[in-house]
Chains A and B, each alone.
Chain A
Amino acid sequence: MTSSTITTIPAKITTLSELQDYLHLAMQLEHATIPPYLTALYSIKPGTNADAVHVLRVVAVEEMLHLTLAANLLNAVGGTPDLTREGFVPTYPAYLPDGEDDFQVHIAGFSPSALETFLKIERPRSGPGRLVYRSYAPDASVLGAHPGGGGAHFYSIGEFYAAIEDGIKTLEEEAQAQGKTIFTGDHARQVTSEYYYSGGGKLFPVTDLSSACKAINLIMEQGEGIEAEIYDNENELAHYYRFDQLLKGRYYQKGDKPGNPTGPELSVDWDACYKVKEDVKLADMPVGTELYVAAQAFNETYAKFLRMLNRAFNGEPETLFGAVPRMFEFRNLMTELIRNPLPGSNGLYAAPTYEIAGVARNDAPTAAPAAVGAVKEVVA
């Protein structure tokens, strides 16, 4: 970040195409949290830190639910999700808004400072409903930017989602007044719970104003909770407090106040983790070595996975059945990288680089609906 100024221009959505742009950004944002969470999770040495492993896994799985709900929202209002678009996978470190300033999200191992970042991701600042202007290097990945460009950014992620909720309500009200609706998307494009199971929170189709608001609220509440409550409407501990438990060394239980867990003790062994080099890139690995090849293989597998997800979000939800095993496959590739020393880094370890852009563009079947045969080819 180089400079910031604040404007009083309100961040309001006024057209359907703007709403679709916002929802695409929401998908990008929800996805962007997953690589850092998974890297921290898999940097934990096998057989150690059971509490932290559980917390990180639950949160990562729920972020996948949020990504899917964001896709349902976009499909509901006639949009076309595109996970293969250049820049969908951010270049890490990625920037997230934090009021008038910002913070960086890294691909890094499990550590107290990684947890501090996760807390910031999950509990956005409440803001004054205005945009902040900041300038970045042209190749920086900035999440929470106003789709209108020009250096405008949301004050916080909370404000970003508030703008979406407000936009949906306003646009639907205007449409209804003319006897129309903005929820014109084909219901067959909705990903529903028969294609997906997860920990907390249910996946549901978005078809009208009430299911749309429910989806946005679920995404926000699973992250930060409701106002001063640590549990969300489904009686689930919000992500912020799940992470907070690891720093506090104690579980929350019903009736607890924020910041003061009184449940059973838990322990975190910060040393039982592979210390990975932050935001490692392919260029940090000697070309042609087994490590380089393994990092490339991960990026290719991840790109294929995104292409499968993209088909699932574009009218072929059954593609998820094949995408889930692929997800477990790239888990194996990730752990392998994280357990290998990175040459010339003073004892640090490697990690997945998530350099996806070029790979995803190559043969992305985004325009035409993919044939069933193509799905089989990827699964096999």
Chain B
Amino acid sequence: MNGQLESFIGLSILLTGFDAVRLRGSGMAEPYLKAIGAVLPPDVVGDLLSAYEQLPPGSERERERVLESEILGDPRLGPVARNLIVLWYCGSWTQLPPAWRAAFGESPLDTNRVISGAAYQAGLQWEAAGGHPPGANPQGYGAWASGPQRSRE
């Protein structure tokens, strides 16, 4: 699981554009890895992470190019990787396309759903938009009068 987690975070960095500290800092890396392991048919997670591990070393741009062709362009791994992007940004799992389900297997857990309350709060979409998860992240009275504060670049 630990080696898997490292690869999962490495892959997620490429898919989301956020760094490792931010992804781990969300507290969601382990729950998400566990969630996709439960939803997907056996071997899919392992194959996805192996595909990531086989990306050539080199510049990020080069790795992204290979990621596009080898993972996002792969009929079995591509839809899962795209789902991972939505998972990190929205905290929710999206049901895989019917064609994918027919070809690679169905799971009763493969439904549209928010993973957890914590996942909703941790969605990267809020930070990307310079906002906060509505109703779930108190910022103090009157905070809405000032602009987004977080900027750690």
* B78-134 residues at the A interface, CB under 8 angstroms: 116-118, 121-122
Number of interface residues of B (CB under 8 A): 25
Contact B24 A340 (CB under 8 A): yes
Contact B150 A340 (CB under 8 A): no
Contact B143 A325 (CB under 8 A): yes
DSSP class of A's interface residues: helix, strand, loop or mixed? helix
Contact among B22, B24, B143 for A328, CB-based, below 8 A: B143
Instruction: Confirm or deny: A341 has a beta carbon within 8 angstroms of a beta carbon on chain B.
Output: yes
Q: How many Å from the CB of B8 to the closest CB on chain A?
A: 14
Q: Given the complex of chains A and B, what is the CA–CA distance between A335 and B118 in angstroms?
A: 13
Contact B27 A46 (CB under 8 A): yes
Instruction: Confirm or deny: A270 has a beta carbon within 8 angstroms of a beta carbon on chain B.
Output: no
Q: How many Å from the CB of A312 to the closest CB on chain B?
A: 13
* Selected A-B contacts with CB under 8 Å, 10 pairs: A290-B19, A293-B152, A322-B146, A325-B139, A325-B143, A326-B149, A335-B27, A336-B22, A336-B24, A339-B24
Contact A324 B140 (CB under 8 A): yes
Contact among A45, A294, A341 for B152, CB-based, below 8 A: A294
DSSP class of B's interface residues: helix, strand, loop or mixed? loop
Given A328-B143, A380-B147, 8 other A-B residues pairs in contact with their CB atoms under 8 A = A46-B121, A290-B19, A325-B143, A325-B149, A327-B140, A335-B27, A339-B25, A340-B24
Contact A47 B118 (CB under 8 A): yes
Instruction: Place the interface of chain A in its size category.
Output: 20 to 34
Instruction: Confirm or deny: A216 has a beta carbon within 8 angstroms of a beta carbon on chain B.
Output: no
Which positions in A face B, CB cutoff 8 Å? 45-47, 197, 290-291, 293-294, 297, 321-322, 324-329, 332-333, 335-337, 339-341, 379-380
Contact A47 B149 (CB under 8 A): no
Chain B residue with Cβ nearest A294: B21
Q: Given the complex of chains A and B, what is the CA–CA distance between A197 and B141 in angstroms?
A: 9
Q: Given the complex of chains A and B, what is the CA–CA distance between A328 and B152 in angstroms?
A: 15
Of B25, B118, B139, B150, chain A has the most CB atoms within 10 Å of the CB of B25
Chain A residue with Cβ nearest B22: A336
Instruction: Confirm or deny: B38 has a beta carbon within 8 angstroms of a beta carbon on chain A.
Output: no
Contact A290 B140 (CB under 8 A): no
Q: Given the complex of chains A and B, what is the CA–CA distance between A321 and B143 in angstroms?
A: 8
Contact A46 B118 (CB under 8 A): yes
Of B27, B118, B137, B140, chain A has the most CB atoms within 10 Å of the CB of B140
Contact among A290, A322, A339 for B26, CB-based, below 8 A: A339
Contact A328 B138 (CB under 8 A): yes
Q: Given the complex of chains A and B, what is the CA–CA distance between A150 and B85 in angstroms?
A: 61
Q: How many Å from the CB of B24 to the closest CB on chain A?
A: 5
Identify the 6 closest CB pairs spanning chains A and B, nearest first: A336-B25, A324-B140, A46-B118, A325-B143, A290-B21, A47-B118
Instruction: Confirm or deny: B20 has a beta carbon within 8 angstroms of a beta carbon on chain A.
Output: yes
Contact B20 A325 (CB under 8 A): no
Contact with A along B23-53 (1 / 0, CB 8 A): 0111100000000000000000000000000
Contact among A294, A324, A326, A380 for B25, CB-based, below 8 A: A294
Q: Given the complex of chains A and B, what is the CA–CA distance between A337 and B27 in angstroms?
A: 10
Q: How many Å from the CB of B30 to the closest CB on chain A?
A: 9
Chain A residue with Cβ nearest B132: A328
Q: Given the complex of chains A and B, what is the CA–CA distance between A314 and B61 in angstroms?
A: 52
Instruction: Confirm or deny: B57 has a beta carbon within 8 angstroms of a beta carbon on chain A.
Output: no
Q: Given the complex of chains A and B, what is the CA–CA distance between A328 and B141 in angstroms?
A: 11
Q: A290-B21, A336-B21 are in contact. Are A329 and B122 (CB under 8 A)?
A: no
Chain B residue with Cβ nearest A340: B24
Provide the residues of chain A in CB contact with B142, threshold 8 Å.
Answer: 321, 324-325
Contact among B25, B137, B140 for A340, CB-based, below 8 A: B25
Contact A47 B117 (CB under 8 A): yes
Q: Given the complex of chains A and B, what is the CA–CA distance between A339 and B24 in angstroms?
A: 6
Provide the residues of chain A in CB contact with B20, threshold 8 Å.
Answer: 290, 340
